[in-house]
Amino acid sequence: PGMKKSMEEFSRVNPNVLACRKTWKLHILIPLSCDVYDDLEKADSNIQYVTDLTETTLTRAGTKKRVYKHSLYAIRDEENQLWHCAVEYATPLQSLYAMSQDECAAFSREERLEQAKLFYRTLEEILKGSKECADSYRLIAYEEPEAAETHFLSREISWHLRQEHREEITVLEGSCPHTPSTGLDSAELNLQISTSDLPQPLRSDGF
């Protein structure tokens, strides 16, 4: 909820970095493989850490003064243009990936994929229902290519940033927005999961 305020504070000091207000949101990466990198710069050399945005301190679940913060990155696209945005992975996916690597969990790759899709759709529903989070996030769900691509992640993020830039121009010009997507959206994910075989919440038959 505090993303816009953090972006405004940063922009006042750095007026030329975040020129497009449509990008003033948290970009949440959702790889359907659940393979999450701890260091985005190591995942893709076209992604460079810039700074941390203003911290938010809250008392949550018994933890006093719990600190929440987001990092700002510079993304270099294929045309060598720099885009700046706050971006991070959806960290619960790390748990799904770890489970699929542990024989004790008996959690297959197919089950992991189904749960990742369910996670995306549920997160989307939660955020859409939150007035506080309206227009302060963008979910970026994607399937990684089978063959390793050095700059796949930066291309994926910069594509979304360009779309946001076009959306802002469209609104300023007063014309109807038209933004065909190359990424995955909830409609596509719904099509990929049959109604009768929707993944169920994780459970243990022993309890």
Structural domain 1-90+131-168, CATH architecture: 3-Layer(aba) Sandwich (3.40)
Residue linked to tokens 């360009």: 162
Lowest mean pLDDT among 25-29, 33-37, 194-198: 194-198
Per domain, the residue ranges of the chain are: 1-90+131-168
The band of 20, judged by pLDDT with boundaries at 50, 70 and 90, is: confident
Distance CA 96, CA 113 (A): 9
The whole-model pTM stands at: 0.82
pLDDT reading at 201 higher than 60: no
| Percent of the chain residues past pLDDT 70, beyond the cut | 82
* 178, pLDDT greater than 60: no
Cα-Cα-Cα-Cα dihedral sign, residues 103, 105, 111, 117: negative
Q: Which pLDDT belongs to residue 180?
A: 41
Residue 138: closest CA among 24, 4, 8: 24
Q: Please give the DSSP secondary-structure letter assigned to residue 117.
A: H
List the structure tokens of 187: 């409609």
Give the pLDDT mean for 125-154: 92
CA distance 54 to 138: 19
Q: What is the mean pLDDT of the chain?
A: 85
- Residue 125's SS3 state is helix
Q: What is the pLDDT of residues 161-176, one digit of tens each?
A: 999 999 888 766 665 5
Residue 71 has what pLDDT? 96
Segment 152-165 shows an average pLDDT of: 95
Per-residue pLDDT of 183-200, as tens digits, reads 566 556 654 554 445 555
Read off the tokens for 58: 């809250």
